Amino acid sequence: MRKALLFAPMIALCLLLVGCGGKSEEAESRDVQERYRAMTAASAEAELICHYGGEVRTYGLSCAYTPESATVTVTEPAELAGVSAVFDAETLTLAYDDVLLDAGIYSGTRLSPFWAVPSMLQTIGEGYLLEYCEEDVGEDKCLRACFEVTEEDGEKTLYTVWFDGEENPVRGEIAVEGEVVYAVTFRSFTAETDGTEQSTKEEPKDGTDAEADLGGD
């Protein structure tokens, strides 16, 4: 009986040490959030799939983001290529062929296709961290983190993002009241923190693994 009492806490201690062998998903998620909160600028190429009821639309987007403003340009489909939206504070401006159109306040269009990628980058740093776990994306192990935003009218928007081992976004989803409205696949991503560019991975064009070294000469 005395041996059993002696070995019980030792076994518990061993199990605790095994469980502490690596950084937890929560700690990793907090680190990711701190990095994105400190991010001063980012650029991304992404594929956006929009779910409008029974209709599905796909766009290619290029996004230049800072915490104060963002410019999103359509790259696909060809008939819409070049159309841009510029977000600055509470103003949305549309641009095409050097023609600018002031679209006014965009508070009611924060979940427009143009705003999907910038809002996702913003929410990673500022949203409420709701869930986190490790999950496979294809053959890669990724950190899956969910961030919740509650709008002024009480409506909840859930942003789910998968990050690779370098803490770069691989894909993401935006859901409103439990329904996914946007799915994002990041083709490339570059982030800056205090003027320092981070090395990022780009989607290979020839099917091989490619890494863009953006921090060197």
Residue-range domain boundaries for the chain: 24-212
Look at residue 202 in the predicted model and tell me its pLDDT.
67
Look at residue 87 in the predicted model and tell me its pLDDT.
87
Beta bridge pairs of residue 53: none
Q: What are the tens digits of pLDDT across the range 25-60?
A: 889 899 999 999 999 999 999 999 998 778 899 999
Q: Quickly list DSSP for 159-189.
A: EEEEE-TTS-EEEEEEEETTEEEEEEEEEEE
Superfamily of domain 24-212: Lipoprotein localisation LolA/LolB/LppX (2.50.20.10)
Q: Quickly list DSSP for 109-153.
A: GTTSHHHHHHHHHHHHHHSEEEEEEEEEETTEEEEEEEEEEE-TT
Look at residue 71 in the predicted model and tell me its pLDDT.
94
Percent of the chain predicted with pLDDT > 70: 71
Specify whether the CB–CB gap between 43 and 65 falls below 8 A.
yes
Q: What are the tens digits of pLDDT across the range 105-151?
A: 333 445 688 889 999 999 999 999 999 999 999 889 999 999 999 88
Q: Quickly list DSSP for 52-76.
A: ETTEEEEEEEEEEE-SSEEEEEEEE
Check residue 99 and report its DSSP letter. E
Specify whether the CB–CB gap between 99 and 117 falls below 8 A.
no
Q: What is the pTM of this model?
A: 0.77
Two structure tokens written together for 57:
């639309």
Residue 151: what residue type?
A: E
CA angle, 84 then 87 then 93, to 5°: 55
Strands 128-137 and 99-105, bridge-based pairing: unpaired
